[in-house]
A and B are shown apart, each in its own frame.
Chain A
Amino acid sequence: MIRVENLSKTYHVPKRSTGVKAAFKALVKRETVAVEAIRDVSFHVAPGEMVGYIGPNGAGKSTTIKIMSGILVPDSGTCEILGRTPWKERMAHVKDIGVVFGQRSQLWWDVPVQDSFDLLRDIYRVPAESYRKTADRLTEILDLADLLTTPVRSLSLGQRMRCELAASLLHSPKLLFLDEPTIGLDAVSKLAVRQFIRELNREAGTTVILTTHDMNDIEALTNRILLIGKGHILYDGGLDHLREQYDTVRTVTVDYREGQIPPVLDGVEMSRLGEGRVRYRVDTAIVKVSGVVARLSAELELKDVTIDAQPVEELIVRLYREHRI
């Protein structure tokens, strides 16, 4: 489906300088700074796979997506999607892909959603018969029936995102790029969008590349993540594997009878949460959780014990820190 090999791209951005003198100088000779967006990025994606593409802001996510969708031409490296090079056979390539930029609408702002859909049908030259079928199905699954006659500008963000998803799928693409599809959505809309993507992938077999900052998206949708930082691919593999490797921290929260003194344990961070309540942060690579619980129950009269794994967010932060990005 997707074969990306040693992709590199450097931007030449005008040097920003302050002051009037510098501005005049820039008039005559413009100095540019080379900003390396991605370097030697390689990965493969199989048909029907769902991949979470994550990394901090400015890591090169957007650049990679833009190259894969035929917007940008890379400096070097190869990228083959469905047997085609996006920037060389742009028109043939983009017929097979759908792109949703979460922060930018692809719909015409001032007219009803239906009008945008109709124009997209003409742009993509979708045959009337299959257009009707696809549109009907999308309308049903995404619950758009009441929205189609509303101008886009009057839609809520969640409603708009559902329409965006439909708009990018009207031509039944084999590959879908989702750039932060849940950004700014409320909890209900997020769940709806995730559920739809999951179904799309399962039923139509659409390959999905998803960039996001919301780790719940990743957890809900995909097992494979690609982590990029400072332009390099740092991790390519399953989320569960990542868990095993990095997710060694457990927090043990204990409620005990007031008046007792919770013990200080070696290699375990302790924080008091108030009278009769204490939290221990246990790194299982050093100390076993069972040992901690055993010690506590020996020394305190316990009312309640909860053990939590750390959220994926923290996992990713640790991963970023480890790679210094």
Chain B
Amino acid sequence: MNLYLRYVKMVFRCQMQYRVSFLLTMLAQMLIPFSVFAGMLLLFQRFHLLGSWQVDEVMLCFAVIHMAFALSECFARGFDMFAQVVSQGEFDRILVRPRGTVLQVLGARFEFSRMGRLCLSVVVMGIAVSRLSIAWNPLKVLSLVLMVSCGTLVFAGIFMLAATLCFWTLQGLEVVNIFTDGGREMAQYPLDIYKKEITRFFTFVIPFGMVNYLPLRYLLDRPGSMAWHALLPLCATLFLVPCVLLWRFGVRRYQSAGS
């Protein structure tokens, strides 16, 4: 953990060398999800309800998933950009250092400009929470924190799976974006507006439902939701287990990238 923080500091100092570029990227990162958000608001102006959901409730859902995505893009960027890490020979270097590969790949890249996206999500969440009359209790606060943090881990797991594919092929990894960008677009709305199969897939295979939809129902005291749903995000982190195992398997197959 200590070393991880040192990596964070190092990469942060490196990125601060290019301040203007950093600020512009950050601004862009704020604007991209803003357009998605604006689109959503326009739809609500026309239709008022999405399934059984009001605009403020969907905003909360949106904010949670975008926060998680922003955080994982910032802190698990090494896996997100793993093809680059391999082709630049950095992974060779990682393997000749006496630390775990996961920690070092995480430490290889951070994308702090993603804080732009995070800022927007924080604002959206603030508005949503202030307009919703949620009966807050300690468990609900904990649940909201878990939703964001465990959501970050789920995205990180997907990035890791994508990175693992690099051990077999260095090309054509766009397909994985179905699960990262696609997953984000799906999970920014309450999952019950989709077909059952889709809901199931994003609950039990890639557990976005467990970090967003189900605990959200509990936060809002929706009928049928139970207190233990608040802790479902913890359950979602089990998703990382197969991710790490596959990663380990992949590392042994590593072929390096020429001399």
Contacts and interface: CB of A to CB of B under 8 A. Distances in A.
Does B bind A? yes
Interface of A: 11-12, 14, 30, 57, 61-62, 66, 69-73, 87, 90-92, 94-95, 97, 99, 101, 103-104, 106, 108-111, 115, 119, 122-125, 151, 179
A104 B92 CA distance: 10
Main secondary structure of the interface of A (DSSP, over half): mixed
Nearest to B255: A11
B97 A70 contact: no
Contacts of B178: none
Interface pairs A-B: 8 shortest CB-CB: A62-B259, A110-B14, A110-B17, A95-B98, A71-B95, A91-B98, A104-B89, A99-B96
Contact of A97 (B2, B96, B253): B96
Given A72-B255, A119-B7, A122-B6, 12 more contacts: A92-B98, A94-B95, A94-B96, A94-B97, A101-B89, A104-B88, A111-B13, A111-B14, A122-B3, A123-B3, A123-B98, A151-B17
Contact of A119 (B10, B17, B254, B255): B10
Contacts of B253: 73
Nearest to B259: A62
Given A11-B255, A122-B3, A70 B14 contact: no
11 contacts: A66-B92, A90-B98, A97-B96, A104-B93, A109-B14, A111-B13, A115-B13, A119-B6, A119-B10, A123-B3, A125-B98
B111 to A, nearest CB: 15
A106 B253 CA distance: 23
Nearest to B16: A110
B256 A72 contact: yes
A72 B253 CA distance: 8
Interface in B213-259: 252-256, 258-259
B195 interface: no
B6 to A, nearest CB: 5
Interface string B84-113: 000011001101111110000000000000
Contact of A71 (B13, B18, B88, B254): B254
B135 to A, nearest CB: 47
Contacts of A119: 6-7, 10
A106 B93 contact: yes
A90 to B, nearest CB: 7
A123 B92 contact: no
Interface string B114-150: 0000000000000000000000000000000000000
Contacts of B100: 91
A70 B256 CA distance: 11
A30 B170 CA distance: 13
Contacts of B7: 119
Interface of B: 2-3, 6-7, 10, 13-15, 17-18, 88-89, 92-93, 95-100, 169, 252-256, 258-259
Nearest to A13: B255
Contacts of A66: 92, 256
A72 B96 CA distance: 10
Given A94-B98, A123-B97, A123-B98, A72 B254 contact: yes
A70 B252 CA distance: 10
A123 B99 contact: yes
Given A66-B256, A71-B254, A73-B252, A108 B96 contact: no
Contacts of B89: 101, 104
Nearest to A97: B96
B97 A124 contact: yes
A133 B115 CA distance: 41
Nearest to B18: A110
Q: Which of A95, A103, A123 has the most CB of B within 10 A?
A: A123
A90 B254 CA distance: 14
B13 to A, nearest CB: 5
Contacts of A72: 254-256
B77 to A, nearest CB: 15
Given A71-B256, A72-B254, A115 B10 contact: yes
A184 to B, nearest CB: 15
A323 B31 CA distance: 63
Nearest to B88: A104
A152 B254 CA distance: 29
Contacts of A69: 95-96
A71 B86 CA distance: 12
Given A66-B92, A71-B254, A101-B92, A110 B13 contact: yes
Contacts of B95: 69-71, 90, 94
B1 to A, nearest CB: 12
A252 B18 CA distance: 61
Nearest to B2: A122
Contacts of A125: 98
Contacts of A123: 3, 97-99
Contacts of B14: 108-111
A235 B254 CA distance: 30
A92 B256 CA distance: 21
Contacts of B256: 66, 71-72
A215 to B, nearest CB: 19
A91 B100 CA distance: 8
